[in-house]
Amino acid sequence: MKKLLGFFLIISVTCLFSRLCLLKPQVESLEKTEYTMLDKPHLTVATYNICHGTDADGNLRLHEISSVLSDADIVFICEVDRVFNSRSNYLDELMVLKRLTGLKYHYFVPTLEKAKLFNFKGSYGIAILSRYPLKDPKIHYLPTEYFNEPRAAISFSIEWQNQEVKLLATHLSPSYQEKNIQLEYIANIAVDTDLLLGDFNAHPHEIDFLKKSLVLVSAEAKPTFPADNPTFQIDYILYGNKLKLRDSQTIPVLYSDHLPVRASFYLNE
């Protein structure tokens, strides 16, 4: 009887060991798959109305703003001062942010310009900072009433993962009538755009026709303004079928009167 029990014990241990050996490669395979997904190349973009680099108390917050943006590959910023005004200590904010973020490429569109002492020309406007070279950047000045602040958009593309990714970034008017005309203009010039981002000064329902027309969806759906009590979403990152959303975030910081929006994407395979 003891010999029989010993025999069954040996058989049971052998079977259990065999099953564990068979399971081990499967566990390793799952771990490898999970790691591969996390390590998959992704493109991170951000949009931020920096309110000429100041917080609600008028304090310059360029270092803090750069810390929010430095992990992005493409950044769109609006209300940027370049040697423009005492409110920003006559700093060239674009060059300061470029240095602090380490983003190598930039493109700037002045929407307001004025002469300064000693022949320095101050400007204010919108800009792109990028980790990748900007291909074929174009300025699009938007329809604006004569005495209102001029508005513009930047279109460009980058090469990423052997694919061309087309982008357009803009800062629209808060005027209801003017904004709607500008949205229609964007709908016409942004055909085949993969990423559309910026401060639209528009509620989500106001841009529904734009999203349908361009076949884009919103990466994030949280209020972005005002920063200290976010109530309205007016800052957006919209993306098309070429891209698949990895993650997105509206970042709760008080470095401007807006909140920054950031999103990361995979190529859609």
* Domain assignment of residue 58, yes or no: yes
d(CA 43, CA 268): 12
List beta partners, residue 78.
49, 126
H-assigned helices in 78-229 = 93-101, 176-189, 208-214
73-111 pLDDT per residue, tens: 999 999 999 999 899 999 999 999 999 999 999 999 999
**CB–CB of 133/141 below 8 Å?**
no
225-269 pLDDT per residue, tens: 999 999 999 999 999 999 999 999 999 999 999 999 999 999 998
Domain that holds residue 149: 44-267
φ, ψ of residue 201 in degrees (nearest 5):
50, 35
CATH of the domain at 228: 3.60.10.10
User: 3-class SS at 139?
Assistant: strand
Q: Domain count of the chain?
A: 1
pTM of the model: 0.85
* Domain assignment of residue 78, yes or no: yes
Lowest mean pLDDT among 73-82, 116-125, 144-153, 181-190: 116-125
